[in-house]
Every structure is written in structure tokens, then in C-alpha cells.
Amino acid sequence: MSMKVGDQVAELRVTPGRFLPHRYAGASGDFNPIHIDDEFAKAVGLPRNILHGLYSMGLVAKANAAIAGGDPRALKRLSVQFRGMGMPEQEIVVSGTVKSVDGDRVVVDTVATQGDTEIIKNAEAEVEL
Amino acid sequence: MSLKTDAIGKEWPGTTYQVGREKIKEYANALEIENPVHFDVEAARAAGFRDVVAPPMFAVVYSGPALGPVLFDPEVGMNFAAMVHGGQVFEWNEPVCSGDEITTTSKCLSIEEKDGKGFYVFETVSVNQDGAEVVRGTWTNIVRGV
């Protein structure tokens, strides 16, 4: 597949279920209670239990690997900033735009949003096609 | 209040993680990643891998545990309760497959104060059983109200 600067990466839309944070906690080994215990999360001032940032980063990785047919060797580098908190039961939209192309390597500017909130911003993925 | 910066440059010994097929499957399922190279050994071998291969972000599973002792190190002195994960970089090299034994070492790259927040940056380097680097992670943790 050839890509040029300004091309859009296919959007990834996922609505993590109520118990996705628990499932991701088990898969990743990160059992921080702010992700899996709603009462604990509220007690420390959060609106509710929140998604793991690294789960949302996993979706950004998935969306970028998809441009190379999902080949796990394709993603060479991924840099993200976690900003707004991600919530269960709200749709996440991952979208990206090709920023530069160097031979078979493309750099994609990516963002993950929930409604008006950017939960991952300034994400930059380097993908080998 | 001034930030404690004694831990800058400190390195921590490696932790080792044994990669298994079922754990890769569990991770891929949580992210709804459907490529059969993550589930089926024959599909993985046909695609040129030694065994079922991990998705790139499986890096958190084998390299994350190395940061446990770092975050709680009294020399780092981080207020864990006020900490958020601010940023993350991974750079991948050799793919990680079931059967691999991955060793991850950690280092404190910097501790800085900006706008009343503490920025703690750690690096993890993960190598496989052959000594080949599989991933390098840069973890930025932000502590409010330092």
C-alpha cells in the first residue's frame, strides 16, 4: 500500500464496555483501583472508574498497525501523550493523518477522542509498510 | 517545595518475563485484535514467526512489571497517590513470540518540576533470550502538587 502526506488513516471506533477495564486489568496486569473500583475512583475525585491510558494507546497502535494489514512487525515507534481521561461505555474514535513519508516508512499523527475530549493527543506512529 | 532529584541516573536490575501463547491471546482479545498470528501457531509460522507473536503494545505486559520497584523506590520518593501517566513512547525492534524470555531493566532519565508538577521520566529496555533488544519504553509520570 502506498500512502502520501495528508492521507487519512481508516478510523477505528470502539465502545469499551462497562467491564472492559477489568478485562484489560487482567490482560495487562495493571490493577490500579482507579480503573476497576468505581467507589475508589470517586473517593479520589474522579467522575468514575476510568480507562487505562495504555489501553487507549493499544487502540492507537491497533489503528496504525491496520494500515500495514495488522502486521505486528509494522509499528516501529509510537509516542503518545495522555490527556483527558477515558471513560468506559463511551465511544472512542481513533483517527490519523499521514504527516511524512520516507521510503516505506510513514509517520502518522493520531488522536483518540471521546466526544469533545481528546484522551490521547499528539500521538505519532512510525509504520513500515 | 523542591523536588527530590537524587534518583536521576539510577538504574534498577532486570525483571524477567516468560511469554506464553494464552497470555498473548488474552491481551489480543482485550483489544479485539483479530489477526490470527496472535492466536494460531500455524498462522504465525506461515507469516515467518517462531511461534504465536505478541501485538506491539503487549510490551506493557512484559516491561511494565520492571517499573513496580522503581515507582515505589523511596529514593525516587514519588507521591504515588497524586501520580498520573502523562506520556509514553515505545520503540520496537525484534518481534516477541511465545516462548521468549524477556528481561527488562529500568533507569531514571530525569526528574523535573514544571508549573508545580513533578515530571518523572523512566526508561525501560527489554531484551530477549538471545540478547536482542525487543522494545525500549520511555514512561513519563506526572505528580500533581509537588
**What residue ranges of chain A have pLDDT lower than 70?**
1
Q: Residue A57: closest CA among chain B residues belongs to which residue?
A: B57
Q: Residue B59: closest CA among chain A residues belongs to which residue?
A: A28
Each residue's pLDDT tens digit, B34-67: 999 999 999 999 999 999 999 999 999 999 999 9
Residue B137 within any structural domain of the chain: yes
Q: Which of B32, B88, B92 sits opposite A57 (nearest CB)?
A: B88
Q: Which of A44, A59, A78 sits opposite B31 (nearest CB)?
A: A59
Residue B75 within any structural domain of the chain: yes
Residue B103 within any structural domain of the chain: yes
Q: Nearest C-alpha of chain A: how many angstroms from B82?
A: 9
CATH number for B72 = 3.10.129.10
Q: Nearest C-alpha of chain A: how many angstroms from B98?
A: 14
Each residue's pLDDT tens digit, A38-70: 999 999 889 999 999 999 999 999 999 999 999
pLDDT at A1: 62
Number of domains comprising chain B: 1
pLDDT band per the 50, 70, 90 thresholds, residue B124: very high
- Cβ contact B34–A70 (<8 Å): yes
Closest C-alpha to B145, from A45, A21, A88: A45
Each residue's pLDDT tens digit, B93-110: 999 999 999 999 999 999
Domains of chain A and CATH, by start: 8-128 (3.10.129.10)
Instruction: Say what the pTM is.
Output: 0.95
In the structure grid, which three cell numbers stand for residue A93, read together?
A: 474514535
Q: Which residues of A touch B84 (CB under 8 A)?
A: 82
pLDDT band per the 50, 70, 90 thresholds, residue B1: low
Query: Which of A22, A23, A28, A121 to mutate to probe the B interface, most B CBs <10 Å?
Result: A28
Distance CA B36, CA B53 (A): 9
Residue B46 within any structural domain of the chain: no
- Residues counted in chain A: 129
Q: Nearest C-alpha of chain B: how many angstroms from A91?
A: 14
pLDDT at A51: 97
Chain A residues at the B interface, defined by Cβ less than 8 Å, are 14, 20, 23-24, 26-30, 44, 53-55, 57-59, 61-62, 65, 70-73, 75-82
Distance CA A104, CA A67 (A): 12
Residue B118 within any structural domain of the chain: yes
pLDDT at B82: 83
**Is ipTM > 0.85 here?**
yes
Amino acid at B98: S
- Cβ contact A77–B90 (<8 Å): yes
Residue B126 within any structural domain of the chain: yes
- Cβ contact A26–B89 (<8 Å): no
Residue B39 within any structural domain of the chain: no
Distance CA B38, CA B32 (A): 11
Which residue range(s) make up the domain with B112?
11-18+57-143
Q: Which of A44, A62, A78 sits opposite B90 (nearest CB)?
A: A78
Distance CA A104, CA A3 (A): 9
